[in-house]
Structure 1
């Protein structure tokens, strides 16, 4: 592998990482326009494995806004990222990436105890004209600790 290819791969890894971090930050900051901008026009998300819904990015953003609205302070920490690429020489719409990552969510209500959840996400990304965008997101909850549970 040449240095040029290595540099391109590194740049793609950084760009994909920025999208994944942006997903978590958008949920934490209730930045729903920013959340939607991370997706391809036909992008979809599936949160059924975490007790949610499956639908278009806009439908899921509306659902998340309602669910997370009761938690003014929230933090989604995404780590243990495992990234793979399917590369077709940098052509928009053809290059794909998949990221499997774990997420620790801490949700603080106005008063009372925090809710903690551990989830596994699978992100499917496509290279678009303006960079990497989410095409699919799947969330599956592994554990939850809520007040009274």
Structure 2
């Protein structure tokens, strides 16, 4: 591999890592236009293993807005990122995959929470807390605007929820 190809690969890996970080921030901050902008026009996501839906970025962002709007605090920690840029004859290609683990603690919103983008009082109630964990499989493609997601598959491995009261 030439130095030019190595440099390009490093730059691609950094851009893809930023894409994954932007994904987590958009979800945690409820930035749904920003979330949709991370995907290609034909990009899809699959949250079915976590009790969700599968669909295009627009459909998924609407579902996430409603589902995650119930939580005042959301924090997606996406770690152990294994980035693979597909190469062609030793040169960096225009597609990549990322496999990464996630840990997602969340706290419900207080009673004043609404269905909007912004959760109600972030201080919210002290508990209960929910924690979800698993693995993401991301697929990405180089576009004129930079790297964009073509696919996201969530593989939930475990969850911890507060005990039922009643």
Task: State the TM-score, normalizing by the size of structure 1.
Answer: 0.93
Partner of 2:115: none
Runs of 4+ in 1 over 4 A off after TM superposition: none
Q: Residue in 1 aligned with 2:118?
A: none
Cα root mean square deviation, aligned = 1.3
Q: Deviations over 1:86-134 (max 9, x none)?
A: 13556xxx71100000010011113221100112000000110111000
1:83 matched to which residue of 2?
83
Distance 2:139 2:45 in 1: 10
Relative to the length of structure 2, the TM-score reads 0.84
Spell out the pairing of 1:17-96 with structure 2 (5 A cutoff): 17-88=17-88, 95-96=94-95
Structure 2 counterpart of 1:113, from 125, 128, 132:
128
Q: Distance in 2 between matches of 1:6 and 1:136?
A: 26
Alignment partners' CA distance in 2, 1:57 and 1:3: 36
Return the alpha-carbon distance in structure 1 between the equivalents of residues 30 and 105 of structure 2.
15
Unaligned regions of 5+ residues in structure 1, if any?
A: none
Structure 2: distance between partners of 1:68 and 1:38: 18
Partners of 1:44 and 1:55 within 8 A in 2: yes
1:126 maps to 141
Alignment of 1:102 with 2:101, yes or no, is: yes
Please give the alpha-carbon distance, in whole angstroms, between the structure 1 residues aligned to 2:65 and 2:130.
17
How many equivalent residue pairs?
A: 146
Residue 138 of structure 1 is matched in structure 2 by 153
Q: Is there any run of 5+ residues in structure 2 with no aligned partner, and where? A: 110-124
Distance 2:87 2:59 in 1: 30
Could you say which structure has the larger radius of gyration?
2
Separation in 1, partners of 2:5, 2:18: 20
